[in-house]
């Protein structure tokens, strides 16, 4: 082979990848490499090994049998300790905030590759919450990675300049300024990336600084970066790089130019780790894992929910999932207010043709929201604690002309309110509004003290005088500026306010913006985040439909995070287990282009509970379901093997009922169209398949769960001699205090943990959900359970449930719960996707606007 040292060393390295070092040396000698060259190779290898071991940490198992090289900060680190000092100076407590951040960022760095590995190409995803501190987390990850030897850091921000500048400012203050001599910046607060000098000067061996580049996801900018990195190819071989993709679901997935450009950037970096950050990861989770793309093949991590964070579930509540005690799932705070459908066309044009000349009407709900905002801002001045800013968001349309049209009506309302503030009529209106709102949400529940109206009233003139009307959009020079003193502002906007940017001191939102996808809707929720000093004051005005969508989203999020947590608790990886996403009849999971590689999800009913919580309230619909239930019970009386009569407890159980009767019942019973998990055709197909292929579910136990009947009037008769008292299930007030949609009731949760064990032997009242399923596997491994619930049509709410209303149905309601045993073999049923053909024109316009920003040449 000759005595060329470099080529022989490469051969030796190839041998080391396959054999122990001693065997690799022998093979070099067998190839005729001179002994002097072999000795030099051995010495270099030993020095390199020592160097690597000096940087390595004690190895620990973090994911199945996966080892990690990083176990946390250590003595001698520079960047992470400096960042901790800044956080503490800014008021962060050591426990739990800094400790939680430390643990979460350590987890993520532990999943990256060691920076001294010869080549690596990691792909990961970090899932946070909207407005929850994702930037602080990835800054922490960057600091720790820099402490261990990562050199190049590229942060891909969203598609707007405002977010890029905001991110650049954070990184400068938390990474660069504490150690300025150790960082070289390719971008600054005022300018996105432009080639700056020859790349060799940044990546050559003589330059020991870390390199920071913060770029927005814009085709022109990224092309410049790709070209510049291409010139540095010879110097990037030994450059470990960390690419952080903030808002990783936006522009990154399934775009014609941005996605290929990101992949091209990675192709120039033979030692790179790509980590996407997002609170709405739906598109990222649906990337084709088999393609050369950005699917998070190596890891997916949930960030812990920070203490005090207002998220989807906190505000909107959610539905109970399998394995949960229904009583433990909250309905959310009473902070959502209803906008009637009639108001929507008053605050946004019905179509594009109506935009020209449109001027919004200050409807009753919009006026109420604005007056409340000024009251809340005055109350916060009285408290003089927490965030000094006060912001209101009005988000009705993506169109900039519509934003501008709000200017005159809002200024007139502001001037009129200021002029009449001393009058008794205005003061009475404001007092009534304040007393009504503060009665619905107790300040004491959030550790705050209620501000009396008479105390805040003197602050109102100053609030009105300071309040600015800002139209923040891509065509406006007017921007929210929180860096030059306390702000009081009503911000009217669209895309620039709907992702990434933090609206400081946001207390009031008026939101009727149309959306058709989970990620779009979730990212518009600028009201999520932290509300230090005013956690009792946030209010959101929106339509009932939108509020229902957010409740569904809260359930989807919780279910999705459960799946993601399996990567940390079980021997699963993103290539062996795909996160499942529940669908909705009126929403798509993400944009159609981002779902091309998605498949109909395989969703097992095995080990699951299915229950009804949506009902129509008209007599004809309800009577049909009652007939189906009575028919089932009448036949079960004659065809079951045993009848457990527990009428003293309001219960009956019929054992070993043929599955044919259950199939007939499911064909006759009508589930509400919004109950996606209760698709009778899917359930019937599943039962028939299990009976046919595995012999399971051929027999069922049919139970009736009611109450002990006190009088004849309380009784509900299923069949002669089979009667129980009706149960009480009040309806959820449609998103807290609104006028309910016609002919619809949502009771949220029907089936309790005890009900799911109604057919099991032995004491079950103290068992957990998991214990009940274990007991079911032991006692009834192949038997299904169907539970019928006669619900009283009146169903008054309990005094401790202020967010409930009487059911007020025209007929008694028949609820149904099904419990499926764990499968012993293959067990899946297909979910169906929703038809989303009726997307509003406003969304088409938004997609065109976004395409112009990310695919075009606008920098």
- What's the mean per-residue pLDDT of the chain? 85
From CA 239, how far away is CA 11, in angstroms rounded?
A: 22
From CA 557, how far away is CA 573, in angstroms rounded?
A: 19
517, burial (CB in 10 Å: exposed 0-12, middle 13-18, buried 19+): buried
Stated as kind and residue range, the H or E segment containing 355 is none
Positive or negative torsion for Cα 763, 767, 769, 775: negative
From CA 499, how far away is CA 510, in angstroms rounded?
A: 16
CB atoms inside a 10 Å sphere around CB 261: 20
Q: What is the pLDDT of residue 852?
A: 55
**DSSP string covering 436-457, please?**
HHHHHS-GGGGT--PPPHHHHG
Question: Which pair of tokens denotes residue 625?
Answer: 């379901």
Q: pTM above the 0.75 mark? A: no
Please name the residue ranges forming H helices in 340-492.
341-347, 364-383, 400-405, 407-420, 424-440, 453-456, 460-466
Q: How far does CA 543 lie from the centroid of its chain?
A: 21
Question: Which pair of tokens denotes residue 701?
Answer: 């136990």
Stated as kind and residue range, the H or E segment containing 131 is none
Do residues 334 and 441 touch, judged by C-beta distance below 8 A? Answer: yes
Tens of pLDDT, residues 566-619: 777 666 778 877 777 777 767 777 777 777 766 554 455 777 888 898 899 999
- Helix then strand then coil, in percent of the chain rounded to 5, is 40, 15, 40
Q: What is the pLDDT of residue 474?
A: 66
HEC string of 647-701 equals HHHCEEEEEEEEHHHHHHHHHHCCCCCCCHHHCHHHHHHHHHHHHHHHCCCCEEE
Q: What is the pLDDT of residue 571?
A: 61
Q: Find all residues with CB under 8 Å of 477, minimum gap 6, and list them.
A: none
Report the DSSP beta bridge partners of residue 829: 603
713, burial (CB in 10 Å: exposed 0-12, middle 13-18, buried 19+): exposed
CB atoms inside a 10 Å sphere around CB 558: 18
Tens of pLDDT, residues 673-724: 877 567 788 788 888 888 887 788 999 999 999 999 878 788 999 999 999 9
834, burial (CB in 10 Å: exposed 0-12, middle 13-18, buried 19+): middle
Question: Which pair of tokens denotes residue 812?
Answer: 């008694």
Q: What is the pLDDT of residue 325?
A: 65
Question: Which pair of tokens denotes residue 320?
Answer: 């109970």
Question: Which pair of tokens denotes residue 623?
Answer: 């009577």
Q: How many residues does the chain have?
A: 859
| Neighbour-count burial for 44-56, b at 16+ CB within 10 Å, e otherwise | ebeeeeeeeeeee
* Residue found under tokens 């812990």: 304
Q: What is the pLDDT of residue 196?
A: 83
Segments of the chain with pLDDT less than 50: 53-66, 601-602, 735-739, 825-847, 850, 857-859
Q: Find all residues with CB under 8 Å of 569, minimum gap 6, and list them.
A: none
């Amino acid at each position: 082979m000759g005595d060329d040292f470099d080529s022989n060393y490469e051969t030796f390295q190839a041998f080391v990848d396959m054999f122990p070092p001693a065997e690799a040396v022998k093979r070099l000698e067998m190839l005729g490499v001179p002994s002097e060259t072999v000795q030099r190779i051995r010495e270099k290898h030993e020095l390199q090994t020592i160097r690597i071991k000096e940087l390595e940490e004690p190895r620990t198992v973090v994911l199945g049998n996966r080892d990690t090289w990083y176990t946390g900060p250590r003595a001698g680190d520079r960047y992470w300790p400096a960042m901790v000092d800044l956080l503490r100076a800014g008021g962060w407590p050591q426990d739990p905030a800094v400790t939680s951040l430390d643990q979460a960022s350590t987890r993520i760095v532990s999943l990256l590759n060691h920076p001294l590995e010869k080549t690596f190409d990691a792909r990961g995803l970090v899932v946070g919450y909207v407005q929850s501190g994702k930037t602080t987390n990835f800054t922490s990850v960057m600091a720790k990675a820099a402490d261990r030897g990562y050199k190049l850091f590229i942060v891909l921000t969203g598609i707007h300049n405002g977010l890029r500048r905001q991110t650049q400012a954070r990184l400068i203050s938390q990474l660069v300024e504490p150690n300025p001599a150790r960082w070289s910046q390719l971008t600054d607060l005022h300018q996105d990336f432009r080639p700056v000098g020859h790349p060799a000067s940044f990546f050559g061996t003589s330059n020991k600084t870390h390199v920071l580049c913060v770029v927005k996801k814009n085709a022109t900018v990224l092309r410049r970066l790709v070209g510049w990195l291409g010139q540095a190819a010879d110097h990037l071989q030994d450059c470990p790089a960390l690419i952080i993709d903030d808002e990783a679901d936006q522009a990154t997935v399934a775009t014609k130019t941005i996605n290929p450009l990101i992949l091209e950037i990675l192709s120039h970096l033979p030692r790179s780790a790509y980590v996407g950050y997002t609170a709405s990861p739906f598109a990222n989770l649906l990337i084709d894992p088999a393609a050369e793309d950005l699917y998070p093949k190596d890891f997916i991590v949930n960030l812990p929910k920070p203490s005090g964070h207002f998220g989807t579930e906190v505000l909107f509540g959610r539905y109970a999932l399998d394995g949960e005690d229904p009583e433990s799932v909250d309905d959310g705070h009473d902070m959502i207010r209803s906008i009637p459908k009639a108001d929507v066309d008053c605050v946004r044009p019905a179509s594009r043709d109506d935009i020209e000349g449109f001027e919004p009407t200050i409807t009753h709900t919009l006026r109420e929201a604005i007056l409340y905002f000024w009251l809340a801002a005055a109350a916060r001045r009285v408290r003089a604690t927490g965030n000094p800013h006060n912001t209101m968001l009005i988000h009705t349309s993506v169109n900039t002309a519509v934003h501008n049209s709000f200017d005159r009506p809002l200024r007139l309302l502001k001037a009129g309110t200021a002029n009449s503030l001393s009058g008794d009529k205005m003061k009475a209106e404001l007092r009534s509004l304040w007393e009504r709102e503060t009665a619905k949400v107790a300040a004491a529940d959030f550790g705050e003290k209620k501000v009396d109206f008479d105390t805040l009233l003197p602050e109102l003139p100053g609030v009105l005088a300071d309040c600015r009307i800002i139209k923040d959009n891509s065509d406006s020079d007017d921007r929210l500026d929180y860096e030059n003193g306390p702000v009081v502002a009503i911000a009217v906007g669209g895309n620039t306010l709907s992702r990434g940017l933090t609206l400081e001191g946001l207390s009031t939102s008026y939101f009727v913006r149309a959306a058709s996808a989970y990620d779009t809707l979730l990212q518009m929720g600028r009201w999520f985040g932290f509300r230090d000093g005013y956690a009792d004051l946030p209010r959101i005005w929106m339509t009932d439909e939108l509020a229902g969508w957010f409740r569904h989203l809260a359930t989807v999020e919780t279910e999705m995070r459960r799946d993601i947590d399996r990567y940390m608790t079980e021997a699963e990886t993103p290539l062996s287990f795909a996160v499942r996403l529940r669908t909705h009849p009126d929403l798509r999971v993400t944009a159609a282009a981002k779902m091309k590689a998605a498949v109909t999800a395989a969703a097992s009913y095995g080990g699951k509970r299915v229950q009804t919580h949506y009902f129509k309230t008209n007599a004809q619909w309800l009577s049909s379901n009652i007939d189906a239930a009575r028919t089932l019970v009448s036949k079960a009386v004659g065809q079951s093997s045993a009848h457990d009569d527990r009428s003293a407890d309001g219960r009956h159980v019929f054992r070993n009922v043929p599955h044919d009767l259950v199939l007939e019942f499911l064909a006759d019973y009508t589930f509400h169209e919004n109950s996606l998990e209760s698709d009778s055709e899917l359930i019937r197909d599943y039962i028939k398949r299990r009976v046919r292929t595995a012999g399971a579910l051929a027999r069922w136990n049919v139970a009736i769960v009611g109450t002990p009947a006190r009088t004849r009037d309380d009784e509900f008769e299923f069949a002669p001699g089979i009667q129980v008292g009706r149960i009480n299930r009040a309806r959820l007030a449609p998103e807290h205090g609104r006028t309910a949609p016609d002919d619809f009731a949502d009771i949220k949760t029907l089936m309790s943990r005890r009900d799911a064990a109604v057919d099991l032997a032995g004491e079950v009242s103290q068992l957990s959900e998991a214990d009940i399923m274990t007991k079911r596997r032991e006692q009834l491994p192949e038997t299904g359970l169907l539970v019928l619930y006669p619900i009283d049509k009146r169903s008054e709410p309990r005094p401790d449930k202020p967010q409930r209303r009487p059911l007020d149905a025209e007929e008694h309601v028949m609820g149904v719960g099904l419990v499926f045993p764990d499968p012993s073999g293959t067990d899946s049923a297909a979910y169906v996707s929703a038809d989303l053909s009726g997307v509003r024109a406003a969304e088409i316009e938004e997609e065109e606007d976004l395409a112009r920003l990310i695919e075009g040449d606008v920098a």
